[in-house]
Amino acid sequence: MIGDGFVVYAAAVIALMIRFGVVTEGFGEAATTYVSITVLLTIAWVLVLHLAGTYDRRLLGDGPDEYAKVFNVSLFLFGMVAIVSYLLQFQTSRGYLGIALPIGLVGLLLNRKFWRNRLQKQRARGKASHHVMIVGGVETASDIAAWMGRHASAGYRVSGVWVPDSESGPRQWLDVPDQFVPVFGSSHDLRDALYLTEADTVIVSDTEHLGHHGLRQLSWDLHDLDIDLMVSPNVMDVAGPRVHVRAVANMPLVHVEEPQFKAAATITKKIFDRAFATAALFAVSPLMIAIAVAVKLDSKGPVLYKSERIGKDGEAFSMLKFRSMRPNADQEVQALRDANDVKAVLFKMEDDPRVTRVGKFIRRYSLDELPQFINVLCGDMSIVGPRPPLRTEVEAYDDFAAKRLLVKQGITGLWQVSGRSDLDWDETVRLDLDYVENWSMMRDLQIIWRTIRAVVAKEGAY
């Protein structure tokens, strides 16, 4: 809140200086009035942010939702200022407001980004997180605990499980890696379990353990203890926009919208893909020429490498890349698998002996993938999408993994910004299906931005 106060005050002062100027004699009569307005605007801006709940501990660090709320609240405030000025016939300088709003808004988002990064680093070390007591069955609790363990930046750590209809619980602790999560039965009172685990949040995972009346009584008991109550619908990898809580006959139901893979084939995405690919090819054409020359001089063989990949609806296409390995490298895959005892569907080696000197460099920065913009122009690929699989990988797919082929494969995707080559097969499939089910144009833009950061940082590339 203090940071936001400094940001909006600085934005208002900058707007004052730009609009009215600063001279040795002072601001002048009109500007003197705006000094008071600057102070009032600063107080009002922070106050509105507070009243709108942008400092709620459950919202802080949430990312898109937090940014969206700050953005909407700021627009609301300036809209109200404009309306009040009109009704009271007070001639507020449009130039002053027009400068203060964008500067203040950008500053607020950057300030939130700074604190969000700091908070996530703390949470990664196990600090600044909510301690969660799960009320329900052990199996579901294990899934939730493992999920939250993999997403520590969300700020929730399972510290205990309470099984209300079991005398001692099926076991003394959950079987989850790198965590000690005790299980309590009805021999322990819920208050005792909450005290022992220092929980400040309760998640009900299996409502049948409590029933309708038991859940209502639990909400009253937790209210007296100032502990948050949440009910899990046991649905994972579903993006927020697809989830809606609706009251039917005064009974809350969680409505999950259908998967969004059909929306990924809309004309908007097609136009964006081709426009982005065209602009990118123009921008990087000098770099591509330099890479082509380096590849040709470094080793014998063609400049471009064509790899058969399986695209949307199982149709094969030739994916283009700059050649980063010695010729006929594909024929050595099985020998490398046998030598390294690799059984995984996806074959990756950190120190692959087939990679050339130039190949190591261009793979490290993903420059070998630049020709794939041509695939996008041809309609075989998209800018953002699941990772393009080999035919051998597709032949090993189960029904679950095969859903990756419902949309066009992408130059980048969630797999690219979440670890790249460091990801195991199951995690790669999970991320690709997450993208297929929860597609949105805004998410594509976020992935593109995160890709640029990941490539510059050389995260997980080899």
Q: Which DSSP string do the residues of 104-172 spell out, in sequence order?
A: HHHHHHHHHHHHHHHHHHHHHTT-S-EEEEEES-HHHHHHHHHHHHHTGGG-EEEEEEE-TT-SS-SSS
The Cα 10–Cα 4 span in angstroms is 10
Sign of CA dihedral 164, 165, 171, 176: negative
- According to the model, what pLDDT value does residue 410 have? 93
Question: At residue 172, what are phi and psi to the nearest 5 degrees?
Answer: -85, -20
> Does 413 map to a domain?
yes
pTM above 0.75, yes or no: no
Tell whether 53 and 156 lie within a shared domain: no
For 240-283, the pLDDT digits (tens) are: 667 777 777 777 787 777 777 777 778 888 999 999 999 999 99
pLDDT band (50, 70, 90) for residue 199: very high
Task: For residues 98 and 181, state if they share a domain.
Answer: no
The model's pLDDT over 361-371, given as tens digits with 9 standing for 90+, comes to 998 888 999 99
What is the structure's pLDDT at 37?
Answer: 84
More confident residue, 170 or 150: 150
Calculate the average pLDDT of the chain: 83
Among candidate residues 81, 63, 206, the one with its CA nearest the CA of residue 134: 206
Instruction: Assess if residue 249 is contained within a domain.
Output: no
- Residue 334: its pLDDT value, please? 63
Whole domain around residue 61: which residue ranges?
Answer: 2-124
Number of structural domains, the chain? 3
The b-or-e profile of 255-281 (16+ CB within 10 A means b, else e) is eeeebbbeebeeeebeebbbebbeebb
405 and 287 belong to one structural domain: yes
Whether residue 225 sits in one domain with residue 164: yes
**Same domain (yes/no): 100, 204:** no
Identify whether residues 387 and 304 lie together within a single domain.
yes
Q: What is the pLDDT of residues 186-197, one digit of tens each?
A: 777 888 888 888
**Average pLDDT over every residue of 407-436:** 80
- Could you tell me the sign of the dihedral formed by the alpha carbons of 197, 202, 204, 210, in that order? positive
For residue 342, pLDDT over 50 is answered with no
Classified as helix, coil or strand, 429 is helix
